[in-house]
Amino acid sequence: QLQLVESGGGLVQPGGSLRLSCAASGFRLDYYVIGWFRQAPGKEREGVSCVSASGGSTNYADSVKGRFTISRDNAKNTVYLQMNSLKPEDTAFYYCAAGPRRLWSVCYLTAGYEYWGQGIQVTVSS
């Protein structure tokens, strides 16, 4: 079965950190562009960060630049999203997705991704 599974979410105080993991089973992540997306209640799903198949290039939404870092460990078939200096406005359901290499130039858009995880809640609150 081909699937992505996110982990590492939860409740954290403002200024805190979390590391999300996106583990793949049934296929190799290193063939794919990986994106992290989030969706807050009443809002559209938005791109947070993405990483190229090789891991050599990354992309971040302006709202998370300097605070979030995306990385991949192809040996573990896992992509990570390190989130530091978290703010209440980072509260959302976070999803990872895998798409073909040709998506790289538009990796911050949801269209074109072939596999999606089930999502995980991140809540930033005191």
pLDDT profile of the chain (126 residues), mean per 10: 94 98 93 96 96 92 98 93 98 97 93 96 97
pLDDT computed for residue 113 by the predictor: 96
pLDDT at position 2 is 86
Strand partners, 2: none
| CA 33 – CA 126 distance, rounded (Å) | 35
- pLDDT score recorded for residue 1: 81
Q: Residue 43's pLDDT is what?
A: 96
pLDDT confidence of residue 31: 92
